[in-house]
Amino acid sequence: MDSSKVRILRADRRHLKGINNLIVKTRIGSPMKKLEGCFWIVKDGERTIGCMGAEFINTCTVILTHLAVDEMYRRQGIGMSLFNHALRFAESKGSSTAAFITMYYHFNRFKKRGFRTSPRRFLPEDVQSHWMFTAKRYMKCAAMIKSLPHTD
């Protein structure tokens, strides 16, 4: 699949099963009972092959969640297309800060996009207290944060 031809779709509750299958298959988390915040997917036919979420925790801060791409479709730009789409959406909604967690072996690709790693204790309080930054399962992950440009 050519990343320039990736079609990103806004997900809704009808897509939850496909998203959960991908989350479990890629081992990035547990199945969700419902979609929190905004979600986007990429499909190949009827199969969900990529997903990404954005949870707005206040008017200025977005937590990026559940970035997953099916193993057969990796290294084709699908994940970064989803990531960039979620960031542009957050910027268009007026967010000034974006944060997420990732495995340490991935953080250099996000540093190239202006994110920095941060010890959790130095994150803004609203980010620090978000479930993703307090969950035991994610404590070995890098916390990433970035100030977003203002779009007026």
> Domains in the chain, please, with CATH?
3-147 (3.40.630.30)
The pLDDT of 77-81, averaged and rounded, is: 92
Residue with tokens 């199945």: 31
CA distance 10 to 73: 19
Q: What is the pTM of this model?
A: 0.89
The pLDDT of 93-115, averaged and rounded, is: 91
Q: 87 pLDDT band (50/70/90 cuts)?
A: very high
Helix (H) or strand (E) holding 35: none
